[in-house]
Each structure stands twice: as structure tokens, then as C-alpha cells.
Amino acid sequence: MGNLNTVEIKAFVPAKDYERSKAFYQDMGFTQASDTQGVAYFHHGNCSFLLQDFYEEKLANNLMMHLLVEDAKAWHQQLQEKGIVEKYDVLLGDIEEQPWGMLDFVIKDPSGVLWRVGQNI
């Protein structure tokens, strides 16, 4: 039997306005590594996802991504300083301590995808 090790798992994230979403994720702090045939590869550290030039409202409004970071407060502050809410007209929630042992906040992307950005405490 061959090598069954895994390398990576990525979600395909829908984009209502592909160019706007690409700019949003770059402003959020992700690096766009490629963009081919309506699929852009984004990464930050060892975390990554694929943004696709595809939009289905029910999918976008029900998709949630979870980004585990070392410092949720620093991420929240960076997003505020970059004016993400004003620039993209998106929701940026307050930082909350959750009963499941995380400090986190939510942010919606321009297509309605909800991201929960948190750190373990």
C-alpha cells in the first residue's frame, strides 16, 4: 500500500463579486498565491482556502469558516485599522469569550460567508 499521508484540505468559498472578494481577503491579511479559471488560492501561514468565481446565495449565507489564530485581539484590531467594515460594508462582531474555551469574533465577507476567528484560552 502507498503513502496515505495527507497534505492539505481546503474549502471552496463562493464569491458574489469575485474581484471585490479577492481584494477583501487580501485586506484581511491573506496572500493570494494564484488565480486561474475563476479559482483563487489564498493562504496565511499554514491555513488556506480557494475562492471561486461562483455564487449561490443559500450556500454563501450558510457557509461558516473557522480560523484559529494565536491572537484574536490582534486580528480584530488589524481589521478595524484597515477599515474593513467601511470599505466592504461587512459585519465585524465584537470579541467575545465563549463557553467552549475560545476568545473569538465573527466577520462576514462581501458575499455573506461567516468567518469565526478565534483563539484557544
Question: Could you read off the pLDDT of 42-73 as tens digits, one per residue?
Answer: 999 999 999 999 999 999 999 999 999 999 99
- Name all domains of the chain by residue range, CATH numbers in brackets: 12-120 (3.10.180.10)
Q: pLDDT for 10-48, tens place per residue?
A: 999 999 999 999 999 999 999 999 999 999 999 999 999
Measured between alpha carbons, how far is 26 from 22 in angstroms, rounded to an integer? 6
Q: What band does 83 get if pLDDT is binned at 50, 70 and 90? A: very high
93 sits in which H/E element: none
Q: Write down the pTM of the prediction.
A: 0.94
pLDDT for 115 beyond 90: yes
